[in-house]
């Protein structure tokens, strides 16, 4: 069973999400929270596998609650940011704070359940068009300055893997493009995560775009120089 904590300041929204998730045989709602303060407290106390985190809430917003939970090295959960708008600037902030995905509140019951399963399985939702729009809009102007030292420590092959991950490629796609076994690709990705000090694909992509290592709209190429 995948254990889920629902965080939203509207009781009707929480009730709706609970009904959807509890109708699934493999999903269990272990608790609810109505603001970010309760989200942090119950997220730590209940140890859910996935937290559905509303972004806009009183007392403490979902972005700061996400940051506090993800900053705890002993906390094993994953966070899905909830938003009403696919172009909500705060979604980018939530991903930067540590969320592994985001879901629109207008998502269907099937989409919501699938998102929870995907994130609980250790994967990230990078493929939807709304995510690509966020990347183009909010990461198009990387911060000035040198690339982080951790990026400079990547090997040429690890750098190419990171570029393909940032382009939204799956492990199977990367394996086919680089003529590698999927298990080898997975090993490269895990080493990239370790060197960058990130939790998952989303955090690696955030760092790659924000640092200017990858630019929106630029097609990854095997001829690119390693950092």
| Domain of residue 194, CATH code | 1.10.10.10
As given in the structure block, the two tokens for residue 14 are: 């929480």
Total tally of structural domains belonging to the chain: 2
Give the confidence band of 219 by pLDDT, cuts at 50, 70, 90: very low
The answer to the question of residue 220 being in a domain is no
The answer to the question of residue 51 being in a domain is yes
Q: How many residues does the chain have?
A: 227
Q: Are residues 13 and 87 in the same domain?
A: yes
Q: Are residues 130 and 154 in the same domain?
A: no
| Domain of residue 15, CATH code | 3.40.50.2300
The answer to the question of residue 39 being in a domain is yes
> What pLDDT shows up at residue 155?
93
Q: Phi/psi at 79 (nearest 5 deg)? A: -125, 135
- Secondary structure of residue 45 in the 3-state scheme: helix
The answer to the question of residue 72 being in a domain is yes
Domain around 36: 2-137
Provide the CA 180 distance to its chain's centre, in angstroms: 25
Does 119 have pLDDT greater than 80? yes
Give the confidence band of 168 by pLDDT, cuts at 50, 70, 90: confident
Average pLDDT, the chain: 82
> What pLDDT shows up at residue 134?
55
Highest mean pLDDT among 27-36, 78-87, 195-204 belongs to 27-36
- Secondary structure of residue 158 in the 3-state scheme: helix
Q: Are residues 112 and 86 in the same domain?
A: yes
> What pLDDT shows up at residue 227?
35
* Listed residues 80, 114, 137: the one ending a domain: 137
- The span from the CA of 35 to the CA of 55, in Å, is 10
What percent of the chain lies above the pLDDT cut of 90? 44
- The span from the CA of 124 to the CA of 80, in Å, is 9
- The span from the CA of 7 to the CA of 39, in Å, is 6
């Amino acid at each position: 069973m995948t254990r889920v904590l629902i965080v939203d300041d509207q009781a009707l929204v929480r009730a709706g999400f609970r009904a959807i998730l509890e109708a699934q045989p493999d999903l269990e709602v272990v608790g609810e929270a109505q603001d970010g303060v309760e989200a942090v407290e119950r997220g730590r106390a209940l140890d859910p596998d996935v937290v559905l985190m509303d972004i806009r809430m009183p007392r403490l917003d979902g972005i700061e609650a996400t940051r506090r939970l993800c900053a705890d090295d002993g906390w094993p959960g994953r966070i899905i940011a909830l938003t009403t708008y696919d172009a909500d600037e705060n979604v980018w902030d939530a991903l930067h704070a540590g969320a592994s995905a985001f879901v629109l509140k207008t998502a269907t019951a099937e989409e919501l359940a699938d998102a929870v399963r995907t994130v609980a399985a250790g994967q990230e939702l990078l493929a939807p068009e709304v995510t690509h729009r966020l990347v183009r809009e909010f990461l198009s102007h990387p911060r000035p300055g040198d690339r982080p030292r951790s990026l400079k420590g990547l090997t040429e092959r690890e750098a190419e893997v990171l570029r393909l991950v940032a382009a939204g490629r799956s492990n199977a796609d990367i394996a086919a493009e680089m003529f590698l076994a999927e298990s080898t690709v997975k090993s490269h990705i895990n080493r990239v995560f370790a060197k960058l000090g990130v939790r998952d694909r989303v955090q690696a992509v955030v760092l790659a775009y924000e640092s200017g290592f990858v630019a929106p709209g630029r097609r990854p190429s095997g001829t690119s120089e390693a950092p």
